[in-house]
Amino acid sequence: MYIIGFSAFYHDSAACLLKDGEIVAAAQEERFTRKKHDSSFPRNSIQYCLKESDISVQDISTIVFYEKPFLKFERLLETYLAFAPKGFKSFSKSMPLWIKDKLFQKSLILNELNITLGDKVNWKERLLFSEHHLSHAASAYFPSPFEKAAVLTLDGVGEWTTTSCAVGRGNELKVLKEIKFPHSLGLLYSAFTYYTGFKVNSGEYKVMGLAPYGIPQYADLIKENLINISNDGSFQLDMSYFNYATGLTMTNKKFDSLFGGPPRSPDTDLTQREMDLASSIQKVTEDIVIKIAQGISKETGERNLCLAGGVALNCVANGILLRKRIFDNIWIQPAAGDAGGALGAALSAWHLHFKKKRKKSSARDRMKGSYLGPEFCDTDIEIELNSCGAFYKRLSDTKLIDKVASALAEKKAIGLMQGRMEFGPRALGSRSIIADPRSPTMQKQLNLKVKYRESFRPFAPSILEENVSEWFEHEVDSPYMLFVADVKKSRRRVMTQDEINLFGIDKLNVPRSTVPAITHVDYSARIQTVHKDTNPRYHAIISKFNEKTGCPMVVNTSFNVRGEPIVCSPVDAFKCFMGTELDVLVIGNYILYKEDQDKSLKTDYKERYELD
């Protein structure tokens, strides 16, 4: 039985294909359309899934949408009625859109299916609807390695739910309790994202990265005024400070007054105030997540925890949760946001609708390393590179791995595209930019000359799984880069008193360990453990680099520039290579050096994404 799950119409649309409950393929629409956070119907993603599995449209038994549109419309309407007439301006703007498209979303979906897959199949008979947070919970529990577990989902909002607690046992998944809109930890975090001058739904990573530069001096103010937190972690927001329920902004003048001024304009410099605000909301988020986890543990008695929803991508909070040892084991869905809802929708249909049992897996989980997207054969790579006018060489596996490791040791920045593309927001060695973590200038160089983004943004290490405990205060697998841990004290650099006294962004350029390019200002790093069974080529490259340098890790950041999705195809990779100051490009067994390329092919990304 083939089941397609898909998400769309809000942000990060995606599609996933199951074959008899096994995950065959999954991809986000943005990777094909090159429109970041593309929310349109995932035509390309669905077509990719069919191509990957080599099946026809007639083979699809069921298609599942990740949420229930009428419930979302009900929430919108009831919210506006509850706040009337305050929200009339926002109401008048959104209603025409709902009446035109979203109120009749089932018809819209059926029309899109006919366009994408043809009208020879009666898709109405094969279409199911999941619920938003049930899709998140299913994406967290069913691919996990656990036979039973507590399941926590946290995000902005689905139909009504913003936070849910469930228990999974075998092929069953039962929701125990929920927190509903407008009370939302995700939207609270997004409110501070907006207030500190970043873009909601994409700038939350920046807030998390900025937090270590500040001190959480506003944390008590947040807890005393904005949110009431119960002993079990449940919470309520004081909506008099927020505008998101009915307005066109996240916060209001009362919020401004509490924190001493209006939101930062995105085109102005960051100040210590924004750093302290980021540190404060990060601390409050961590405290709430810990309290919720403690409450769930006490209520369910479960020793395993699964996480999904956008807040589950807060890897700093995840690392603290892991170290608290509230649960014996934690597993987090790598595509924890709305894209992963596509997978959860398909899995909920298989296990909950069709009552199919879970298959036992000898692997660490059922996600296949999250390498679920397209890959390209040699013929396709050559055709695409030739179409770009690229100059390339094809090498054997052994020679390629040695060349890449040598280039890394020479402090070269490398664009790496190999194997199947990752599903989810993290690049995990298949669509990555990699570099030498020992370089004290690499973080700034990559941010300003390759990624064209803020200089404070940290980079992650990809480290051989067998070496992780030698370098970090971390002893469990982290294949999806979803836990932050501290660099071991033995690897840290002793700082001078003047360096210790530095404040805010001045901390940035001080090397803090023997691997400064991946060590954040608080001595932490977002770890990816690299496993030979899920990504043998990436494991081999890092192993060879280790042979040459004694360092079993590389810098890993996503293969893209600011404002662009992660690359998907060889053409995408070459354009990014020529538009940045990357030195080397590797696609499969093909290697390209910048100095060999026609300079007229340069793409001017820097002008498009210039930073002040």
pLDDT at residue 607 is higher than 60: no
| pLDDT, position 458 | 81
| pLDDT, position 72 | 57
Helices 315-324 and 272-300 cross at an angle (nearest 10°) of 40
pLDDT digit string (tens) for 322-341?
999 999 999 999 999 999 99
pLDDT digit string (tens) for 398-433?
999 999 999 999 999 999 999 999 999 999 999 999
Q: Give the side-chain half-sphere CA count within 13 A for 281.
A: 28
Express as a percent the part of the chain with pLDDT over 90.
79
pLDDT average, residue stretch 495-501: 81
Give the whole-angstrom CA distance, residue 154 versus residue 327: 18
pLDDT digit string (tens) for 68-89?
876 655 555 555 555 555 555 5
pLDDT average, residue stretch 352-370: 90
| pLDDT, position 89 | 58
The verdict on whether omega for the bond into residue 216 sits within 30 degrees of 0, i.e. cis, is: no
Supply 519's token pair. Answer: 């060590």
Spell out the domains of the chain, with CATH numbers in brackets: 2-132+337-368 (3.30.420.40), 179-331 (3.30.420.40), 378-608 (3.90.870.20)
pLDDT digit string (tens) for 3-22?
999 999 988 999 999 999 99
The verdict on whether omega for the bond into residue 536 sits within 30 degrees of 0, i.e. cis, is: no
Q: How confident is the model at residue 505 (pLDDT cuts 50, 70, 90)?
A: confident
Give the whole-angstrom CA distance, residue 418 versus residue 397: 12
pLDDT at residue 606 is higher than 60: no
Which conformational region is residue 450 in: left (phi greater than 0), alpha (psi within -120 to 50 degrees), or beta?
alpha
Highest mean pLDDT among 209-218, 447-456, 496-505 belongs to 209-218
pLDDT at residue 361 is higher than 50: yes
- For 38, the enclosing helix (H) or strand (E) is none
Q: How confident is the model at residue 91 (pLDDT cuts 50, 70, 90)?
A: low
Give the whole-angstrom CA distance, residue 342 versus residue 344: 5
pLDDT at residue 567 is higher than 70: yes
Express as a percent the part of the chain with pLDDT over 70.
93
pLDDT at residue 447 is higher than 90: no
Give the whole-angstrom CA distance, residue 282 versus residue 239: 20
Using an 8 Å Cβ cutoff, are 420 and 371 in contact? yes
pLDDT digit string (tens) for 26-71?
999 999 999 999 999 999 999 999 999 999 999 999 999 999 876 6
pLDDT digit string (tens) for 228-247?
999 999 999 999 999 887 77
Q: How confident is the model at residue 510 (pLDDT cuts 50, 70, 90)?
A: confident
| pLDDT, position 77 | 55
| pLDDT, position 611 | 36
Chain Cα centroid distance, residue 124: 32
pLDDT average, residue stretch 529-546: 97
Find the range with the poorest average confidence among 23-32, 193-202, 264-273, 601-610: 601-610
Strands 483-486 and 524-530, sheet pairing? antiparallel
